[in-house]
A and B are shown apart, each in its own frame.
Chain A
Amino acid sequence: MSDPRIAGAGVTKFGEHPERTGRDLFAEAGLEALDASGVDRGDVDALYYGNFMGELAEHQGHQGPLMAETIGLEAPATRFEAACASAGAAVREAVTTLRNGEAEVIVVGGAERMTNIGTAAATDALAIAADDLFEVRAGMTFPGAYALMARSYFDQYGGTHEDLAHVAVKNHEHALVNDHAQIQKEIAVEDALEAPTIASPLGLYDSCPITDGAAAAVLTTAEYAAEHDLDAPVAITGTGQGGDNLALQDRPHLAQTPAADKAAEEAYGDAGVGPDDVDVAEVHDCFTIAEVLATESLGFFERGEGITAAREGITDRRGELPVNLSGGLKAKGHPVGATGVAQLATLAWLLDGSHPRADDVSDATVGVAHNAGGTVASTTVHVLEVAE
């Protein structure tokens, strides 16, 4: 069993592109990934594609084959849906299939079109990642769910909204040089604290924006990469996925994300590394509190200690463990079905030295991607390592 290589990746600029169709966005990312990989399109065995709200945003289901044809593939194509972890789930399936020897080249990707339906409808569409009977009908929104988790965290472990503001400030600063990012604007702690509240205690700057965008990557076996002389130095050496009860009310605590614990444990075990080996991470910070919960589940910090990591500079680009050098979902944007593959692309570029923030982690050899769905009822974790 050899570990799959990332032969090429492509990401659109994330942002507000209400006039661009999902297929147009995915065509850009997919073709960029194929061109970067040097793989012949006829050698692609499958497309695994993530998308969450296609039916609501574009009245378009069955997007797998549609997206295959938009990038000129005749291969079978399947859509994966795990809310905001849709693309992470697609990556995991691709890794498993390549390792099994059932395929040699798989394109993974995802796209989401969100801004065309407006904030209210997008809020509604995102909310259905929660339990309709027990959460959506109780008025819970996606920010509302994370607000419940944030308040529970403060109650159990301490921490303040100001601590969370430091997460936002850090990720905005990281995004300044990332031209793919939706928001390239520095903010101060005061800006975050003074921003309008969305769902108390979380404000506008604790939340990722509503985003259109697409991402794609060409994954292949080490053998195929060697045979075809591909430049593919980064391998996916570990994959893990965890699940949890859909509704927050059915979980033993609101301030931990056990699905991410399970995914991390599995991915670390698979790769044969531990949290101390990780040089750089891209985690699912759909809200500032989500980054805190993610870094604790990934074992970077004890429970209750992740809250001060950004304030102390540990997760800053100049710190011991840079987290979300892309700007994260917070500043880079969060086209939900594309996010998991965008994280993969970011890490591949950071590890091969081609990312605008690569100089901040020039000796990095191990990266981790954490992609969470809903209120973390689905999570995938992938470990990437420089293989050559």
Chain B
Amino acid sequence: MTESARDGEYDDWLDAIADGGGYYLECGNGHGWLPPRRVCPKCGDRDLAEEPLPDGGEIASHTTITVPTPQFEDDAPYVTAVVDFGPVSATGMVRGVDPEDVAIGSVVGVEVGERETTGDRAVVFRPR
């Protein structure tokens, strides 16, 4: 892999998830976002606090991708899902379950995995 800069707070966030201490950012009005954020896009509040990411979330929607980008060539087919953690949602790849059995409403936990194609880190969800 070529040397490239870390993506600041995004990579810090992945590090935290990998260490079991995932978090999200919450504004004074309770709106949740994933870092990096300097301001709440919804209300403009700049006072954002780190809150622990809930242990499990529910799959809001999912798709099994069979025609990937070149960076995911060896991963395909794979499942990508948006997972609702309550105050915040996240997008990642669902592993540890047959794609046929992935369902809206299923509870998953979040961890950091690797893409098979490039070895880059990726957000991964696994059934809880």
Interface positions of A (Cβ within 8 A of B): 119-121, 123-124, 127, 133-141, 143-144, 147-149, 151-152, 155, 196-202, 245, 247-250, 254
Q: Known A134-B90, A198-B66; judge A151-B61 contact (CB<8 A).
A: yes
Q: Is A138 touching B122 in the complex (CB atoms < 8 A)?
A: yes
Complex A-B, nearest 6 residue pairs according to Cβ-Cβ distance, in ascending order: A147-B63, A124-B69, A249-B89, A152-B61, A138-B91, A148-B61
Contact pick for B122, options A121, A123, A139, A200, CB 8 Å: A139
- Whether A144 and B104, one on each chain, are in contact in the complex, defined by CB atoms closer than 8 angstroms, is no
Among the 9-residue stretches B15-23, B44-52, B72-80, the one with 4 or more Cβ atoms under 8 Å from chain A is: B72-80
Set of chain B residues within 8 Å of A247, measured between Cβ atoms: 91
Q: Are B82 and A148 neighbours in the complex by a CB distance under 8 Å?
A: yes
Out of A136, A198, A249, which one reaches B82, CB within 8 Å?
A249
Which chain A residues lie closer than 8 Å to B90 at the CB level? 134, 249
Count of CB-CB pairs between chains A and B under 8 Å: 100
Q: Are B91 and A135 in contact (CB under 8 A)?
A: yes
Q: Does B98 touch A at the CB level, under 8 Å? A: no
| B61→A138 contact, CB < 8 A | no
- What B residues does A139 contact at CB under 8 A? 65, 68-69, 72, 75, 78, 80, 93, 115, 122
Q: Chain A residues near B123 (CB, 8 Å)?
A: 137-138
Which residue of chain B has its CB nearest to the CB of A245? B41
Report chain A residues within 8 Å CB of B93. 138-139
B67 interface residue, CB < 8 Å from A? yes
Residues of A within 8 A of B80 (CB): 138-140, 144, 148
B109 at the interface (CB under 8 A from A): no
Contacts of A119 in B (CB 8 A): 67
Chain B residues near A133: list those with CB within 8 A. 7, 10
Bound CA span A247–B35, Å = 13
A148 and B120 CA atoms in complex are apart in Å by: 23
**Also in contact, A254 and B70, with CB within 8 A (given A133-B10, A140-B80):** no
Minimal Cβ-Cβ distance residue in A for B9: A133
Chain A residue with the shortest CB-CB distance to B92: A138
> Are the CB atoms of B66 and A196 closer together than 8 Å?
yes
Contact A199 B69 (CB under 8 A): no
